[in-house]
Amino acid sequence: MDATTPVESLKDGIRRFATVRGWEPYHTPKNLTMALASEVGELCDIFRWLTAEESVAVAANPATREAVADELADIANIVFLLSAHTGIDLSEAIAAKMTKNAIKYPPPI
């Protein structure tokens, strides 16, 4: 689905979900950032004691990948809410940052 889903439609989806539930007043940039730290902490919980190889296996195994997918979805949704509430276009921000990073980390010749 990622091949055909515009970023905007994911932003619209989570924003509508929040609006219907009356959550928008809580969604300041500060609160959303704190929520992001909380959700990333849950992903850290999955991987903290695993080796690099085990972390690949957890995410690849159909039986265990749902936990990773769920956390990734929560994290992505908060990133989309931050983008929506700040009016920062994610695709533009990424293009601008990668231009900076390409100078900071030039590709090998």
Residues 63-82 that bind its own copies (CB under 8 A): 65, 68-70, 72-77, 79, 82
Q: Which among 101, 83, 95 is positioned nearest to 29, based on CA atoms?
A: 83
- Tell me how far the alpha carbon of residue 85 is from its chain's centroid: 15
Residue 80 burial by Cβ neighbours in a 10 Å radius (0-12, 13-18, 19+)? buried
Smallest distance from the beta carbon of 29 to its own copies, in angstroms? 4
30-69 positions binding its own copies, by CB under 8 A: 30-31, 33-53, 55-56, 58-60, 65, 68-69
The site string for its own copies over 85-104 (x = CB under 8 A, - otherwise) reads: xxxxxxxxxxxxxx-xxx--
Smallest distance from the beta carbon of 63 to its own copies, in angstroms? 14
Contact 105, 35 (CB under 8 A): no
